[in-house]
Amino acid sequence: MSRLPPPIRALNAVGRLYRSAGFSPRALDPDDLIQAALTEAGNDTGIDSPSLGDPSSFRPGLEVVCRALENLPDLPTAGRFAARQQILRALKQRARRIAWRTQRPELFADQLRPPVIVLGLPRTGTTFLHRLLCAPSDARALPMWEVAMPFPPLSGDDNRQQVGQRAARAMKRAIVDIDLKHATGSDEPEECMHLQDDAFFSWSWFSNFPIPTYTRWLQTADATHAYQVWSEVLRYVQQQDPSKRLTLKSPSHTAHIATLLDAVPDARIVWTHRDPSTVVPSFASLISTTRGIATTPVTADPHALGRETSEFLADQLKRGLAARPRIPTGQLIDISFEDLRRAPLDTVARIHNHFGLPWTPDVSRSVQAQIDARPAKRHGAHQYALSDFGLSTSLMAKLFDGYHVPEPVSG
């Protein structure tokens, strides 16, 4: 559990005094949140009666999130505030997306052209590889501010980038060691799973809050609507510059390959691989940090986190491997973490050649510039071990039985 900065500790202390005096915190109630979001969305869109669409498509996930948060034994004030803001943002973006689709349907009409999509277990080099693949001038990345707020207001100033930059600065002040474990930034390419936040089917929710009931819910919930939202947003993004190749990544796609291919059958898939005995504790360590604002000593049980993350990732990988035969020949390339670490430029060249993408001196130079800008351990060394989370190599072998990391291509 990360140590929080003084302002957040002070806010939590005030909240504890408030509750000890017999007052109840503001509940995270789905109906109240929906009404608040619709009111704000009406002001934002200029529409008298904004819509969130069919409640059955997003409300189940919203209710699981809210119920799980309310059932936490001790949700700190800062965590409650962060949860409320994240839920409202997702609902408002949902209303904004539906308003754009209703008023400007032609912006969503084109089919998605084949994007490059990086997937695989988290902590397998997906972020580093994604940013290298986004380096060429003909690649279209979605930065953090855009995946959080993909649609501008229908009228008035578009200040999404400025809002996103302020939010990123606030996040880094609150989660002081985030760059050590996952270097990120408002204008950096970010995971496209956040586009599914408004379906309330996204790793975003369990990444930020200790709600293992939601993590388990994700393993059985239907992903169809989330990928409809995802593809709809991407069609809107694509029309802004159709000449550029969408270049995306999210480990969350690994368990939903079939649904992803239903949405974009020609997707070019890059699957990264690394030993799960390294992946799982690294991911658990990252999650312990990203949940820091919403975690207290009561909920900061590293062994419980180890069980949650190892079982979840094993399930995600198992489902991905089962769907792997659905990927058409030529649309998949496997990349080992060792290849990416030892020979990143050669690895990106191999991906380009495999998919028939341009590999010119200019492309090579742009990728090399990104490699040079991202030296290993530039923010320090990320320390973690299986034992930190009550895990063992024998348990990893059991959970991930049948999975083999491909042999590196480079020497």
CB 257 within 8 A of CB 199: no
State residue 14's pLDDT score: 81
State residue 20's pLDDT score: 76
| pLDDT per residue as tens digits for the range 166-215 | 998 888 888 877 778 877 889 999 999 999 999 999 999 999 999 999 99
Identify the segments of the chain with pLDDT beneath 50: 1
Paired tokens of 331? 């649309």
State residue 189's pLDDT score: 95
Question: Residue 131 falls within a domain, yes or no?
Answer: yes
Residues 6+ apart with CB under 8 A from 341: 125, 376
| pLDDT per residue as tens digits for the range 123-132 | 999 999 999 9
State residue 241's pLDDT score: 94
State residue 45's pLDDT score: 61
Instruction: Give the chain's domain count.
Output: 1
| Predicted TM-score (pTM) of this structure | 0.94
State residue 296's pLDDT score: 83
Buried b (16+ CB within 10 A) or exposed e, 88-125: bbbbbbbbbbbbbbeeeeeebeeebeebbbbbbbbbbb
Paired tokens of 89? 């943002």
Return d(Cα 371, Cα 143) in angstroms, integer.
18
Paired tokens of 214? 């939601």
Residues 6+ apart with CB under 8 A from 94: 37, 52, 53, 58, 198, 199, 229
Question: Residue 405 falls within a domain, yes or no?
Answer: no
CATH code of the domain containing 360: 3.40.50.300
Question: Residue 221 falls within a domain, yes or no?
Answer: yes
State residue 18's pLDDT score: 76
State residue 277's pLDDT score: 97
State residue 185's pLDDT score: 87
Which residue range forms the structural domain that includes residue 74?
6-399
Calculate the CA dihedral of residues 336, 303, 79, 195 and round it to 10 degrees: 30
State residue 80's pLDDT score: 93
Question: Residue 136 falls within a domain, yes or no?
Answer: yes
State residue 46's pLDDT score: 64
Question: Residue 410 falls within a domain, yes or no?
Answer: no
State residue 401's pLDDT score: 96
